[in-house]
A and B are shown apart, each in its own frame.
Chain A
Amino acid sequence: MPEQITTVQAACPECDALIAFERPPLNGQVVRCTDCSVELEVTSINPIRLEVAPEVEEDWGE
């Protein structure tokens, strides 16, 4: 019998596309919207809330 996959979904705040997670995401995880390619951070997991992720900064030093 094939394994049943439960998906959870959330809407991209930029383009409203539905983003599906095969497993519950981690709080703080960053995913990419498959429609508009924007990077999104999971800021809440119950319910799932997505925000545009902060840009990665470049810094020097240790």
Chain B
Amino acid sequence: MSDLHVPELNDASAGVRLLYELVATPSVSGDERACAEVFVRHARELGYETEIDEATNAVAHRGAPAHRAERHIVLLGHVDTVPGEIPVRIADGVLHGRGSVDAKGPLAAMLIGASRAELPDGVRVTVAGAAGEETAGSPGARHLVGRFRPDACIIGEPSGWDGVTLGYKGRLVARATARRAHGHSAGPERSAGDEVVGWWERVSEYVRAFNEKRSGAFEVLQATIQDMQCACDGLEQVAWIEGGFRLPVGVSPEGVASTVRALGSNQLQVDCSGAEVAHCTTREDPVVCALTGAIRSVGARPRPKLKTGTADFNVVGPAWGCPIAAYGPGDSSLDHTPNERLSLDEFARSVDVMRRCVTDLAESLAAPASATFDAAGAGSRLR
């Protein structure tokens, strides 16, 4: 049992206690161990087998043992958060704290919901809290890519309790740096600052032309300046601009990197990092159907969504190639903000949706007709 002594938790459910303790345990990327231990302790109390793997991923399993599992469902959230301490408190049925939305709420909902799901023989469920999701490269999820080959996956990220996320855009970060000997500002030569600003103007023109016949935030190529600096120590000028790109489906990070490098000049060095490929599923995807059906079954109208951000969805989706969707309680506009908070009523609803969804998904997977687990029926793909 938790040794927390918080008056607001006296009458709280196991789910709320788990959520509170996860949020109250700081876990900025790279320092996730304590929070991973909280996760596995609660998971053991819920009847899971647990481990913390070499990448500090917190992992919990239930159902068929690995060697006897015919079907495997992976529920993948993350334990790490961005920096920024927010005092943890419950007020008026709302939990305030860093990570409450992104993404300890979704992770706790998956662990509790899946613990209550009915699993037929031969179905194994793994709930994983990955480390390092908030860092470029997502090392925790990349470690899990090689460990599992699931038949279905749900990513734990905030969609709202009645929302289902179908896809995430890709990403690239490019930094252009110019260096040159300092000269008089009245002279004819371009400064280092002029060089990087000129590069960004060419990049912006490329993006405008690319988007000419596209519309909608998910369809366009987005480019924004994330950081910039221009400095001189009296001898050398150094200027740089770091641009962030959000990539629609079908646009590769490598292709954009090649273009923005080509838009440079011999006065510039352009370095690219943080590449993630956009990934999107369809509304016929069995995981989307299971989540949609579960939300309908509690009397709500499901809200399908496409996200302009990235998540571990982008890492495991293309690698595993299995049915996939993202789900979790919370308003993603509060991600990374000082106002991060989660309604406990919304959390409870999402636990119920997750229970129903995992039960339905496990039953579908175990049915003989699901040999290929293709989407059933007729109709055209949405995208």
Contact = CB atoms under 8 A, between A and B. Distances in A.
Interface of A: 19-32, 39-43, 53-62
Interface of B: 102-103, 157-158, 163, 165-166, 168, 216-218, 283-284, 286, 288-294, 296, 301-311, 332-333, 335, 360, 364, 369, 375-380, 382
Contacts of B302: 28, 41, 54
Given A59-B332, A62-B102, A54 B377 contact: no
A62 B103 contact: yes
B309 to A, nearest CB: 5
A19 B377 CA distance: 10
Given A19-B378, A28-B289, A56 B296 contact: no
Contacts of B294: 28
A28 B307 contact: no
A23 B102 contact: no
User: From DSSP, what is the main secondary structure of chain B's interface residues?
Assistant: mixed
12 contacts: A19-B379, A24-B377, A26-B284, A26-B376, A29-B377, A30-B283, A30-B379, A30-B382, A31-B379, A53-B304, A60-B308, A60-B309
B376 A39 contact: no
A22 B292 contact: no
A43 B378 CA distance: 15
B308 A59 contact: yes
Contacts of A23: 369, 376-377
B290 A61 contact: no
CB-based closest 10 A-B pairs = A31-B379, A61-B332, A28-B292, A30-B283, A25-B377, A28-B293, A28-B289, A27-B293, A26-B289, A21-B377
A27 B286 CA distance: 9
A32 B303 CA distance: 17
A31 B191 CA distance: 57
Contacts of B168: 62
A40 B377 CA distance: 13
B81 to A, nearest CB: 11
A59 B305 contact: yes
A29 B306 contact: no
B217 A60 contact: yes
A28 B290 contact: yes
A62 B104 CA distance: 13
Contacts of B158: 61-62
A22 B308 contact: no
Given A25-B376, A54-B304, A60 B333 contact: yes
Contacts of B309: 60-62
A25 B304 CA distance: 19
Contacts of A56: 166, 283, 304-306, 382
Contacts of A39: 283, 382
A11 B78 CA distance: 43
Given A23-B376, A24-B377, A28-B292, A62 B310 contact: yes
B296 A60 contact: no
Contacts of B165: 59
B305 A58 contact: yes
A58 B296 contact: no
A40 B380 CA distance: 11
A54 to B, nearest CB: 6
A62 B283 contact: no
A29 B380 contact: no
B333 A26 contact: no
Given A57-B306, A62-B102, A26 B380 contact: no
Contacts of B360: 27
B268 to A, nearest CB: 30
A40 B165 CA distance: 18
B322 to A, nearest CB: 15
B378 A20 contact: yes
